[in-house]
Amino acid sequence: MKLLAIDTSGDACSAALIFDNSIEQRLEIAPRRHGERILMLMQALLDEAELQVIDLDALAFGCGPGSFTGVRMATAVIQGAAFAANLPVVAISTLAALAQGQFRRGGQRHVLTALDARMGEVYWGCFTIDNNDLAVSCAAERVCAPSQVALPKRADWFGVGSGFNAYAPELSSVIGHSLHGIDPFAHCEAQDVAVLAAAAFDAGQYVSAEGAMPVYLRDQVTRCQ
C-alpha cells in the first residue's frame, strides 16, 4: 500500500505517507499558510521515499468538518493531484481522524470529538475504536449548540478537540461524570487520516477525483433540533 494523505482543516497543516508498512508525517502549525506549505510537505514525503504521485495507489484527505477555507483547500489539492495521476481518492472525516489520533496517543477507545464551529456551535461526533483499532462513528456527526450535543449511553468518554476549550462549561454540564478526560488542544493529523483511509481503500470505499467532496455539516440537514 502506497497512500498519501493530507489535512488542512484547522491550524495544523499536515501530510502523511503510508509506504512499506510504515507511516511518515510532516506537520506544521501554520494558520493562514496552508496554501504555501501543503504542497511542499507532500513533495518532501515523496522525495524522501523516492516516489512520484503516479507511483501511489491512492490519495486521501480530511474532508471536514473544519475551517471552510482549509477544507476546500485540501479538497482542491487532492482533486488536482488525483486528476493528474488518475488515482482514486478516499475522503475521511476530520472528526473520525481526531478520534483515531486520541487512540494513537492515549489508547482511549470511546472518544467524543468537538470542534469549535463558531457562531456558538460545535462540530460534534461520537466514536468507538473497534477490534481493528479503527475509529467507528456511533452517532451521526452534526453541528449544534454545545448544550444540545447527543451523548450515547456510556460512562467512560474522553473528549478531544477545540470545542472542549471554547465551550468547556456548556459541554461539561451535558456530559457530566461520563467524561473522564479531555484534550482540547489536539489537532487533526494526516497520519490518522491515512490509517483510516488505508482501511477504507481496502474495503473499496473510494471515489474518483471528481467525486472527492468537502463535508461542511453546517449546510447539511444534520443539525440538532
pLDDT reported for residue 219: 63
150 with 74: CB under 8 angstroms? no
What tens digit of pLDDT does each residue of 180-224 get?
999 999 999 999 999 999 999 999 999 999 999 999 997 643 333
What Cα–Cα distance (Å) separates residue 1 from each residue in 78, 120, 122, 200? Answer: 18, 41, 35, 12
Count the residues in the chain: 225
- Determine the pLDDT at residue 152: 84
- Residue 131: partners with Cβ closer than 8 Å, 6 or more residues away: none
90, 26, 94: which is closest to 56 by C-alpha?
90
Rounded to an integer, what distance in angstroms lies between the CA atom of residue 117 and that of residue 12? 16
Residue 224: per-residue pLDDT: 30
Note the pLDDT tens digit of each residue in 72-88: 999 999 999 999 999 99
Number of Cα atoms under 13 Å in the Cβ half of residue 97:
34
CA 189 – CA 210 distance, rounded (Å): 24
Mean pLDDT, residues 128-146 taken together: 96
pLDDT at 225: 26
CATH superfamily of 3-93+188-211: ATPase, nucleotide binding domain (3.30.420.40)
- For residue 39, the one-letter residue type is L
pLDDT for residue 99 is more than 60: yes
Please give the CATH superfamily to which domain 95-183 belongs: ATPase, nucleotide binding domain (3.30.420.40)
The model's pTM:
0.95
140-158 pLDDT, tens digit each: 999 999 999 988 887 799 9
Q: Enumerate the CATH 3.30.420.40 domain ranges in the chain, comma separated.
A: 3-93+188-211, 95-183
Q: What is the pLDDT of residue 177?
A: 87
Quote the pLDDT of residue 154: 76
Question: Among 52-61, 125-134, 154-163, which stretch is predicted with the lowest mean pLDDT?
Answer: 154-163
Residue showing cell 449546510: 219
Phi, psi torsion values for 138, nearest 5 degrees: -115, 10
Cell of 54: 503516479
**Cell 491512492 identifies what position?**
58
Sequence-distant (6+) residues with CB within 8 A of 173 are 147
* Res 94: pLDDT: 98
User: How far from chain centre, in Å, is Cα 82?
Assistant: 19
